[in-house]
Amino acid sequence: MSSLLARLGPDGPGGLMLSGHVDVVPAAGQQWTVPPFQLTRRDGRLYGRGTTDMKSFVACMMALVERLDPEGLTAPLWLAISYDEEIGCVGVRPMIEDMADRGIRPDLIVVGEPTSMQLGLGHKGKMAFRVTATGVPRHSAEAPLALNALHLATDFIAGLRRLQEEIEARGPREQGYSVPYATVHVGKLVGGTAVNLVPDKAELLLECRVMAADDPLGLAARIRNVAATALAPHKVRFAEATLEVEDTGSYPGLATEADDPSVQAFADCLPDGTTECRLSFGTEGGLFAQALEVPVVVCGPGDMQQGHRPDEFIDQGQLMICDRVLLDAVDRFCRGNEEPASHVPKQMHGKL
């Protein structure tokens, strides 16, 4: 698979970049009342996997291109379309590296994840880990003479819960998030083969969601310290016991200043009543901001409450708003016009 980076207009500095991904989460195991991979129109809604997250924004990008005359642009419009975002922003990374090498730095990057067209100025970063517990096997009739790897793993989990409580009580906080502090979460635990055998292997998967104010390396070190603390009481009797913590992937958070001139210029293109927001889910926005050092916002049609669920849908009205906003943004960033060009009623415009 490959990503796509396309330019309309002159090959010069500045301009606007629109970013979206085309992969989706699976629909298997979900109870859909419509075909998940066939678009269904019903009562002003569009149903199908990815309608909200986030092919509707990509469709708006393509519709925008059809309406533009590239010869009329005075600054570039960049379209960045990536793959495998859902498994850790995989596809966009080599594209961002190439952009950095080529010196491509737009005045603003808009990541079109679903925000109900509100202005997303931040999201949390993520760290993921695989932890393998190694114990000592034995017949269950003599379980006290063995070291149960599942017990060792759950001792570690108990330590993580205490770490989460400490973070909630004394860690950095950033208002605007539904959970305004870093989170530590175990999502999977597996181990054992039969009830009459003490398991010698167990594996768990955990993740941390961190804010811009957090120290990710420091938090990772604390997690490894939790593992060492859980393991220590058993090492005297069972020298072969281990708790191995493996980093399996991460991406940075995003924190964009609302008073940045480019952010304010984009805010002028949004409808009256638009508000700022912080997003609990992650995006490639933090990667763009980190590598290119340009302002990045997250703003797109649809509500993530509908994403990843059966009967995923988006309201067609959201697409209409997005079409108008993108056309006005191109006028601001790629034509240098101060007045919107989409002929939207005045109430559709205004700063935050």
Residues tagged active-site: 23, 85
3-state secondary structure of 288: helix
Pairing of strands 119-123, 313-315: unpaired
Write the secondary structure of 130-155 as one string of H (helix), E (strand) and C (coil).
EEEEECECEEHHHHHHCECHHHHHHH
Residue matched to tokens 């859902």: 86
**Chain center to CA of 31:** 25
Cis peptide bond prior to 54, omega within 30° of 0: yes
Strands 77-82 and 201-210: unpaired
As a whole number of angstroms, the distance between CA 231 and CA 244 comes to 10
Per DSSP bridges, beta strands 77-82 and 16-21 are parallel
Side chain identity at residue 72, one-letter code? G
Name the β-bridge partners of 82. 21
Q: How far apart are CA 229 and CA 284, in angstroms?
A: 35
8-13: which pairs have CB atoms within 8 A and are 24 or more residues apart? 8/65, 8/68, 8/70, 8/73, 8/76, 8/77, 8/79, 8/334, 9/70, 9/73, 9/74, 9/75, 9/76, 9/77, 9/334, 10/73, 10/74, 10/75, 10/76, 11/76, 12/75, 12/76, 13/75, 13/105
